[in-house]
């Protein structure tokens, strides 16, 4: 099982994904047991403090090692509707059953999403106590997983990151690429969002681990509300580029989403722009009230948008993504 001068023993799922890889770097002082599907997957994250646990949350899960904390970060964000529930919901339920057998577990940290909560008005940003109204199957599957966590009788913290960007991200990377090309397509209307850098997400997760709080839910979001246009403008400023913003009518987006959804049915691949994503894009605002995160959890994000964008841009450029 691995020994060493590590502070905590943590089981991490979703270790090979965007947030997972950043989280591994952030938690390098701890002993990490990473649930991975194969030795080939493990090779991409191999390190002295990391030990593989081979299995799949949608298949037969092995017995889990005795750990202090579980960070359940695994999930799918683009797939066929049925698979959202198989992985995000049923996979969480299966992991919870295995977690109940552990004698040393202090807390189950579930990485949910703002999508589980749904959009909100600028006059009333979403709060953790609000009724959930997810729009997409992704959001609905995360909301169902949250229900399973709450009903598990395990000590838990549910974290709902807002729009996450940062090194390794491929979704908001699309905006960086459009800025570099000088032409940015954005949905019609003024869309307000709370962004958060992935490095802040990692710090927020660690804060949840170390906090004495249990059986609670928190958004993870930078308190500053931004527009999508501001996001593109800050990327342009950091890149030293000028770009033109083109507003795309929602009728066109719906048609494009429908086209890519049909194409995905035949190719087996889900495009970034699909009918599910259009439902979320059509919402006016994705904004949250950060008060409980700041004062309850005591977590204060460090990366304002300009600092975080500059860091992310540098990462993309150094690796030849841009």
How would you label 227-258 residue by residue, b for 16+ Cβ within 10 Å and e otherwise?
A: ebeebbbbbbebbeeebeeeeeeeeebeebbe
Residue 7 vs residue 159, higher pLDDT: 159
Q: What is the pLDDT of residues 243-267, one digit of tens each?
A: 998 887 766 566 554 544 544 444 4
Q: What is the pLDDT of residues 103-119, one digit of tens each?
A: 999 999 999 999 999 99
Mean pLDDT on 173-196: 90
Q: What is the spatial distance between Cα 70 and Cα 27, in angstroms, rounded to a whole number? A: 13
- Confidence grade of residue 175 (pLDDT, cut at 50, 70, 90): very high
- Res 9: pLDDT: 96
pLDDT at 208 over 70: yes
- Confidence grade of residue 188 (pLDDT, cut at 50, 70, 90): confident
Mean pLDDT on 206-230: 96
DSSP summary character for residue 132 = P
- Res 77: pLDDT: 86
Q: Residue 110's closest CA among 152, 169, 54, 66?
A: 152
Percent above pLDDT 70 for the chain: 90
- Res 255: pLDDT: 58
| Strongest mean pLDDT among 6-10, 88-92, 270-274 | 88-92
Residue 277 vs residue 4, higher pLDDT: 277
Mean pLDDT on 282-298: 92
Q: What are 50's strand-pairing partners?
A: 32
The full set of domain ranges for the chain reads 9-164+196-222+288-302
Phi, psi of 143, rounded to the nearest 5 degrees: -65, -40
Mean pLDDT on 279-288: 83
- Res 128: pLDDT: 97
pLDDT at 5 over 60: no
Mean pLDDT on 150-166: 97
Q: What is the pLDDT of residues 23-32, one digit of tens each?
A: 999 999 899 9
- Res 61: pLDDT: 92
Q: Please, are residues 195 and 136 in contact by the beta-carbon 8 Å criterion?
A: no
Residue 282 vs residue 198, higher pLDDT: 198
Phi, psi of 80, rounded to the nearest 5 degrees: -70, 150
Q: Please, are residues 308 and 165 in contact by the beta-carbon 8 Å criterion?
A: yes
Q: Which fold has domain 9-164+196-222+288-302?
A: Rossmann fold (3.40.50)
- Res 2: pLDDT: 39
pLDDT at 36 over 60: yes
Q: What is the spatial distance between Cα 117 and Cα 127, in angstroms, rounded to a whole number? A: 9
Lowest mean pLDDT among 43-47, 285-289, 298-302: 43-47
Mean pLDDT on 289-305: 96
Residue-averaged pLDDT of the chain = 89
Q: What is the pLDDT of residues 75-100, one digit of tens each?
A: 988 777 788 999 999 999 999 999 99
Mean pLDDT on 68-79: 91
Mean pLDDT on 59-70: 94
């Amino acid at each position: 099982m691995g020994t060493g001068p590590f502070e905590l023993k943590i089981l991490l799922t979703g270790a090979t994904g965007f947030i997972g890889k950043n989280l591994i770097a952030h938690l390098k002082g701890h002993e990490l047991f990473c649930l991975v599907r194969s030795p080939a997957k493990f090779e991409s994250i191999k390190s002295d403090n990391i030990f593989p646990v081979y299995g799949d949350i949608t298949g037969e899960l092995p017995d889990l090692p005795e750990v202090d904390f579980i960070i359940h970060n695994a999930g799918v964000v683009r797939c066929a509707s049925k698979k959202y529930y198989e992985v995000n919901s049923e996979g969480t339920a299966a992991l919870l059953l295995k977690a109940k057998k552990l004698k040393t577990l202090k807390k189950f940290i579930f990485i949910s999403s703002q999508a589980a909560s749904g959009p909100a008005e600028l006059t009333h940003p979403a709060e953790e106590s609000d009724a959930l109204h997810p729009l997409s199957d992704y959001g609905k599957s995360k909301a169902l997983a949250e229900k399973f966590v709450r009903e598990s009788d395990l000590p838990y913290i549910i974290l709902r990151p807002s729009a996450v960007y940062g090194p390794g991200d491929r979704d908001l990377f699309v905006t960086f690429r459009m800025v570099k090309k000088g032409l940015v397509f954005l949905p019609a209307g003024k869309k307000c969002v709370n962004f958060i850098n992935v490095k802040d997400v990692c710090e927020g997760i660690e804060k949840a681990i170390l906090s004495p709080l249990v059986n609670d839910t928190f958004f993870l979001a930078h308190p500053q509300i931004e527009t999508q246009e501001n996001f593109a403008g800050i990327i342009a400023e950091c890149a030293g580029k000028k770009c033109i913003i083109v507003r795309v009518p929602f009728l066109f987006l719906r048609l494009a989403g429908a086209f890519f959804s049909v194409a995905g049915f035949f190719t087996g691949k889900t495009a970034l722009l699909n009918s599910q994503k259009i439902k979320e894009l059509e919402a006016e605002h994705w904004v949250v009230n950060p008060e409980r995160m700041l004062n309850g959890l005591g977590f204060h994000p460090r990366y304002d948008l300009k600092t975080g964008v500059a860091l992310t841009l540098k990462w993309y450029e150094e690796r030849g993504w841009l």
